[in-house]
């Protein structure tokens, strides 16, 4: 990991590492100045609540990208968990959530095994689940949207503690846990090592396969949590809409947040800022009654800039 950074001029490196915070800051200032009713607690809550499913999925995505992989299945795993939830609410909320999380974990075992043991490229291994996962979700749900009536699940989606929405608290806790995992645990070190140089990690005797599988399992479970949160928020399980294109939003948040696509580095706080930045861009356009399809163009431009900044030498050419 160190060898890529030394070839970059320090200014570029700083922009790559802190650019997302600067962009977020500028956008917040713009909105404070020009958007009506922006500086309200209700608005802050709305933006945080809306970003939670993508943020939670992006945390897992950051870990996978840190191993030089990518998990294209997170959107479909969200749909799968959304589809499983109402099927098991008859046993109570906890069992239903456990089944949904188990579904996510199994998806992670599936892609993790394909990547780590069979040796299939992550993009292909998870593409299989991207297609199959949503298909399975639609089959389980009979293709239909189901209204949720479980009062505890509805409370999870709309309730708040001390003025902070419960889903935001969940996202905050998960961010702390994943951040801690990356920075202070052996697993985190191994993950970064595997992503930085897999051959060297194998030679050094690191548990490469286990690390990879565990990483994909974490991503699957987090995607399942994202699906549960999205369902609770919508007050309905809608496997055809929930998680649609979430994998791309998650990848965007991670990349914009400064985690390089070639692995060996995980930036959790940057990912949070990246997700918030994307959320705020689309919110700004909606609040100013501009066509929200324009948000896609702006987001694309930001992704290009972020990826350019990650190149070993800016403008170095071929």
Partner 1 sequence: MTAASPSRPVHLGRIVGASLCGFALILAGCAKSEETAAPPAQGTGGAQAPVASTADGPTCTITQYGGTQLDLKSAIVGFSQSEKEANPFRIAETQSIKDEAAKAGVKQLLTTNANSQLSKQISDIQDMINKGAQALIVAPLNSDGLEPALSAARAKNIPVLTIDRKVNAAACKDYVSFLGSNFVEQGKRAAQQMAKALNNKGKVAILLGASGNNVTTDRTNGFVDELKASAPEIQVVAQQTGDFARDKGQQVMEQIIQAQPDINGVYAENDEMALGALVALRSANKKPGTDIHVVSIDGTRNAVQKVTEGELYAVVESNPRFGPLAFQTLQSFLSGQPVQQNVVISDKLYTKDNATAELGNSY
Cβ pair 229, 154 in contact under 8 A: no
Q: Does 216 bind partner 1 (CB under 8 A)?
A: no
**Distance, CA of 133 to CA of 75 (rounded, Å):** 9
**Distance, CA of 114 to CA of 124 (rounded, Å):** 9
Contact stretch for partner 1 (CB under 8 A) within 86-94, 178-186, 219-227, 247-255: 86-94
Q: Does 97 bind partner 1 (CB under 8 A)?
A: no
The helix or strand, by DSSP H or E, that contains position 45, with its residue range, turns out to be helix 41-66
Q: Contact with partner 1 (CB under 8 A): which of 27, 28, 98, 138?
A: 138
**Distance, CA of 131 to CA of 48 (rounded, Å):** 29
Least Å distance between CB 49 and partner 1? 8
Contact stretch for partner 1 (CB under 8 A) within 11-19, 167-175, 176-184, 194-202: 194-202
Q: Does 34 bind partner 1 (CB under 8 A)?
A: no
φ, ψ (nearest 5 deg) of residue 231: -65, -45
Nearest to 251, CA basis, from 2, 66, 28 = 66
**Distance, CA of 205 to CA of 220 (rounded, Å):** 26
Q: What angle do the packed helices 208-234 and 186-196 form, to 10 degrees? A: 110
Q: Show the binding pattern over residues 217-236: x = contacts partner 1 (CB under 8 A), - = does not.
A: -------------x--xxxx
Site for partner 1 in 267-286 (CB under 8 A): 283, 286
**Distance, CA of 101 to CA of 109 (rounded, Å):** 12
Q: Output 149 or 183, the one with its CB closest to partner 1.
A: 149
Cβ pair 179, 268 in contact under 8 A: yes
Least Å distance between CB 248 and partner 1? 16
Least Å distance between CB 11 and partner 1? 31
Q: Contact with partner 1 (CB under 8 A): which of 1, 87, 127, 177?
A: 87
Q: Output 89 or 255, the one with its CB closest to partner 1.
A: 89
Q: Does 241 bind partner 1 (CB under 8 A)?
A: yes
Radius of gyration of the chain (CA): 19
Query: Greatest CA span in the chain, whole angstroms?
Result: 60
User: Interface residues with partner 1 (CB under 8 A)?
Assistant: 35-38, 40, 42-43, 46, 50, 68-69, 84, 86-91, 99, 103, 106-107, 109-110, 113-114, 116-119, 121-122, 136, 138-140, 142-150, 158, 198-199, 202, 208-209, 230, 233-236, 238, 240-242, 283, 286-289, 291-293
């Amino acid at each position: 990991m160190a060898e890529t950074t030394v070839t970059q001029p320090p200014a570029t490196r700083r922009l790559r590492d802190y650019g997302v915070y600067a962009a977020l800051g500028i956008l917040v200032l713009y909105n404070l100045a020009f958007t009506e009713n922006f500086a309200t607690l209700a608005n802050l809550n709305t933006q945080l609540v809306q970003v939670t499913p993508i943020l939670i999925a992006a945390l897992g995505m950051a870990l996978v990208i840190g191993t030089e992989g990518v998990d294209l299945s997170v959107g479909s795993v969200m749909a799968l968990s959304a589809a499983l939830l109402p099927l098991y609410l008859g046993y109570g909320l906890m069992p239903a959530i456990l089944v949904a999380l188990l579904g996510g974990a199994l998806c992670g075992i599936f892609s993790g095994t394909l990547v780590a043991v069979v040796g299939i490229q992550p993009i292909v291994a998870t593409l299989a689940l991207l297609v199959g996962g949503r298909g399975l979700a639609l089959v389980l749900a009979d293709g239909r949207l189901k209204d949720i009536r479980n009062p505890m699940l509805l409370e999870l989606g709309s309730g708040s503690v001390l003025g902070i929405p419960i889903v935001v608290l969940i996202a905050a806790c998960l961010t702390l846990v994943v951040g801690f995992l990356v920075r202070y645990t052996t697993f985190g070190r191994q993950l970064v090592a595997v992503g930085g140089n897999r051959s060297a990690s194998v030679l050094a005797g690191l548990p490469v396969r286990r690390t990879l599988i565990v990483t994909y399992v974490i991503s699957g479970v987090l995607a399942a949590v994202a699906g549960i949160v999205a369902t609770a928020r919508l007050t309905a399980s809608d496997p055809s809409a929930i998680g649609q294109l979430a994998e791309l939003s998650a990848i965007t948040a991670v990349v914009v947040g400064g985690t390089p696509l070639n692995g060996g580095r995980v930036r959790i706080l940057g990912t949070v800022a990246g997700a918030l930045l994307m959320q705020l861009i689309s919110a700004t356009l909606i609040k100013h009654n501009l066509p929200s399809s324009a948000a896609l163009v702006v987001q694309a431009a930001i992704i290009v800039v972020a990826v350019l900044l990650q190149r070993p030498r800016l403008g170095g050419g071929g």
